[in-house]
A and B are shown apart, each in its own frame.
Chain A
């Protein structure tokens, strides 16, 4: 089992590497893989886009999946959907079970279920499974189902992903009231070494390097972190204890570093010069983290509420509150604890690593005490979170994020939200944003007429297709958006939508399924920031656009 997924588990942080890791595993790590394993994906409507999405989740090893569909397998499914077969089409077998069977073949470690019922009745009957984290993937082109399902998910705090394709175009939308990213995977080395405010142990360690009296070889192997600590000290000593702030100060330090070099090419000093700005690096936490600290969710009262409502981000907010407490007391964020590679001899490097690791451990334990405290205050067991979880969170504290989406309901009823979102795309000249409006008209058309614009009902392929009527109706529907965008520019996209009819081109479905599945992985593993709203792919030009609906 392990072997199968080996290549998608990411390399664990060097210093905490107790796990057997592989060369390639920088994707989502052991945490990510187990999150995937504990996830249950519900596919609402077994369209080609839907089964392709599931395929890309079953292969990497999601815990279980359920296909919900009340239609029969038809001949037309055969030419679009990889996961149906001729027999099923001949005997009109339920599409839910047919696709379930073929999808199941991909990976027998994944539990597959099928429900031959309507989405309406599924929503009525749905009960969350114990210990499994649900995600809904909705692929219906029925606007009412989109509305209902997304509303249901919103209410139950279930991540909702909408993925459909029509003609040349693919659409993906994510809607989650609050999604907390535990690791955006953005590295900020400058702030992780805390060179602008060296801690006591680091300063002591640096005393082991008497730069002036060292021989040339050793002098050229002093790690740049040590050199910078010394430079900062020298600066403060000669400036009445003042910290370097201005550009001039920076220049003074550069000159100082240069004066210490024995040769013009001493590599460790070249590195020190390169990282010279670490000494006066910006103040932590940065704006986005500051905002998270100030969020009312990080208040104890609010956490108590979350315990009661079994909020899915409870752990995240407890940890944020604990780090915030640490910050209030220490005026700094806990150290990450690792040291990036730098020119040095092994001995000095290992020594430096130890200094950082020990200090980080100390600080992380302090955060853990705050966690225990908060848990006690809100009526949880003090061991609600393990030290391991706390340490991991501390290491990633500089790359957490909170995303709050607008619901489908807000988007559809609140014109100003949409106007802003589209406006921001059009301002960047991302014309594909028009496709969004065209698509909304397309959905509305279906809702009113029970068929798609340009859809030929008799199945006769050779008859000349006349979209004119349908097109004019779409233009009428588009009137609603005359405030939001330029209707004239929209027209060409409306024509395109007429061309699509109800056709789902397999390559576009496959592509859309690839995008949607990757977003589901991001949401489940809580790594990387997912798409910020609607994603639209335009096959006619191989372009894509994201319409932001998220704060």
Chain B
């Protein structure tokens, strides 16, 4: 007979013994943990949490499972492809660990559906995300909520775990992260001699930036700034005699033509010339013809729709586009983007989750790849490449997942966050400086917050009944009255300016004044999201309006000693 009892306690045996106390077991059993992201690292973390005896785990993830996830995200099987990660992960863990109670939200963590109160119910947050923006957000919310967060990262052979308690340790935004650049690909390769489809995708993304975006010097196409849409537009403004709609259409067609001609005919022709000179044994480039271009311009509007393109981008098995189709989609997207640009009159940022931007880059990269005799990729794969999703290895994920959950256990057994360590992992020797017997996992002492960090020093937490308090009251009574700030402007992260003091101290600009005088915070949907507050003296603050029914307006600066 097996002496071991069937009791659930079994799973706590190791923890009790090693940490030497029953208290830890109780804490683990009762602590609610929020896990943001159930990808590579997230899957590992979830498994480790459940097997460490955590009962209450909440998952947030907005992604579906794709084929390329299967080589490291062990909770998912091929039959799960297309389903929600959070849901499948929840079901699998609950089945394997009957003691656990996992709940799941399929949503963006940045959604206003997750108010501050939501975060406050957790003892700790584990952040297993793959993108910078969302990480910054979670870092900020955890600071507002004053709960510890464990930040994880896994890229290739490297990984790290950073425990954060804003206000007392260095936080995720303390050190500006260098933007991921495509430095590793030579400029020449991108401009003149792409060898892989990735070179074409990168080129297409640069093209997007040249036309619509921020033109940085690092952009290898930066000498084509004449083709910036804003320049092209100002060119044609002069002949404003024609009827407006005609102008729009003509202007659109003309611009499309110019752009297409420049980047897919002229440029390729000059590369062709170059190659001839160097006796390069390459076959001739496949350059689209002017006829093809003209045909496209005629009837692309009827042929494509955003919905269809969206459907395609979600299918990993869609076939790659023919050059005809790529040509048409390119023109279609270009027109859509031109309109979007005209409406907003501001630069457009490439976003791999935006169907039109993605289709634009897919089409452009397909045309370029075809020209150079390279096999193109479909929009599903282009999103992977363009989103700069840095690939992860199951081995690295496993180590990071192990370290972070163990750090969490140490925290729950009584170690303050600042006494934990930042753990850095490198499964292969790090490139310089290195010495032979270098540690694979090395600890770094957790530093204090950086002086200039807004998150660590200047957070304003506002509690009020958002359905009753007007925006004006928030500014006058809260920011000015209670905090004695002299706000210059208040804005949301999406760029909506809530309030702006006029230069000549004439109180408020008229356009928005009527609105904020009468409307409540809830009517303008300003609660439960981070806001930027710029003080008159030029000091930046971040603010969060926490909605609580029937609560009088209180405003406080967190972290003020």
Contacts and interface: CB of A to CB of B under 8 A. Distances in A.
Contacts, number: 239
Given A75-B5, A454-B17, A350 B74 contact: no
Given A351-B278, A542-B443, A510 B421 contact: no
Contacts of A545: 439
Contact of A21 (B77, B196, B442): B196
B420 interface: yes
Contacts of B316: 3
A2 to B, nearest CB: 10
B17 to A, nearest CB: 5
B440 A4 contact: no
A461 B74 CA distance: 33
B18 A500 contact: yes
Contacts of B429: 528-529
Interface stretch (A254-262, A381-389, A468-476, A512-520): A512-520
Interface string B243-282: 0000000000000000000000000000100100110100
A60 interface: yes
B427 A92 contact: no
A505 B406 contact: yes
A455 to B, nearest CB: 9
A465 to B, nearest CB: 7
A4 B67 contact: yes
Interface in B57-85: 67-68, 70-72, 74, 77-78
Interface string A147-159: 0000000000000
Contacts of B396: 514, 518
A168 B442 contact: no
A127 interface: no
A203 interface: no
A503 B443 contact: no
A514 B375 CA distance: 35
A542 B280 contact: no
A542 B405 CA distance: 12
B10 A507 contact: no
A459 B401 contact: no
B213 interface: no
A465 B403 CA distance: 27
Interface in B181-211: 186-189, 191-193, 195-198, 201
Interface in B1-58: 2-6, 9-18, 20, 22, 44, 47-48, 51-53
B106 interface: no
B14 A505 contact: yes
Interface in B371-427: 375, 385, 390-391, 393-403, 405-407, 409-410, 420-421, 423, 427
A6 B47 contact: no
B289 interface: no
Contact of B423 (A24, A79, A185, A542): A542
A7 interface: yes
Contact of B409 (A3, A21, A76, A507): A507
Interface in A345-363: 346-347, 349-351, 354
B441 interface: yes
A114 interface: no
A372 interface: no
A287 to B, nearest CB: 13
A25 to B, nearest CB: 8
Contacts of B280: 350
A503 B427 contact: no
Interface string A88-126: 000010000000000001111000000000000000000
B17 A508 contact: no
Interface string A34-75: 000000000000000000100110011100000000000011
B89 to A, nearest CB: 13
A368 B89 CA distance: 53
Contacts of A532: 436-437
Interface residues of A, number: 92
B402 to A, nearest CB: 3
Contacts of B397: 514
Contacts of A215: none
A450 B348 CA distance: 70
B18 A514 contact: no
B406 A507 contact: yes
Nearest to A81: B51
A346 B274 contact: yes
Contacts of A350: 193, 278, 280
Contacts of B5: 75, 459
Interface in A385-435: 424-425, 430
B193 to A, nearest CB: 7
B442 A546 contact: no
A458 B519 CA distance: 69
Nearest to A546: B437
A505 B15 contact: yes
A26 interface: yes
B68 A461 contact: no
B188 A20 contact: no
A308 interface: no
B395 A541 contact: no
B428 interface: yes
A7 B440 contact: no
Nearest to A78: B10
Interface residues of B, number: 89
A503 B18 contact: yes
A543 B198 contact: no
A541 B67 CA distance: 37
A59 B72 contact: yes
A537 interface: yes
Interface in B215-229: none
Contacts of B195: 14, 17
A257 to B, nearest CB: 23
B347 to A, nearest CB: 26
Nearest to A454: B17
A29 interface: no
A510 B48 contact: yes
B156 interface: yes
Contacts of A506: 14, 47-48, 51-52
A182 interface: no
A458 B3 CA distance: 8
B178 interface: no
B401 A510 contact: yes
Contact of A346 (B71, B188, B391, B405): B188
A5 interface: yes
Given A505-B18, A507-B405, A461 B13 contact: yes
B398 A56 contact: yes
Given A56-B395, A346-B274, A542-B443, A465 B17 contact: yes
Contacts of B78: 108
A186 B428 CA distance: 11
A505 to B, nearest CB: 5
A514 B399 CA distance: 5
Contacts of B423: 542
A80 B50 CA distance: 10
A192 interface: no
Given A26-B156, A350-B280, A517-B398, A511 B406 contact: yes
22 contacts: A22-B198, A27-B393, A60-B393, A60-B394, A82-B96, A92-B2, A167-B18, A344-B188, A346-B191, A347-B274, A461-B9, A461-B12, A465-B17, A505-B406, A506-B14, A506-B52, A507-B402, A518-B157, A518-B427, A532-B437, A541-B421, A546-B439
Given A14-B189, A82-B51, A461-B12, 7 more contacts: A4-B68, A8-B71, A341-B188, A346-B192, A505-B18, A522-B428, A543-B442
Across the A-B interface, the 8 shortest Cβ-Cβ residue pairs: A511-B402, A514-B398, A79-B11, A503-B14, A341-B186, A506-B51, A514-B399, A23-B198
Interface of B: 2-6, 9-18, 20, 22, 44, 47-48, 51-53, 67-68, 70-72, 74, 77-78, 96, 98, 156-157, 161, 186-189, 191-193, 195-198, 201, 271, 274, 277-278, 280, 316, 375, 385, 390-391, 393-403, 405-407, 409-410, 420-421, 423, 427-429, 431, 436-443
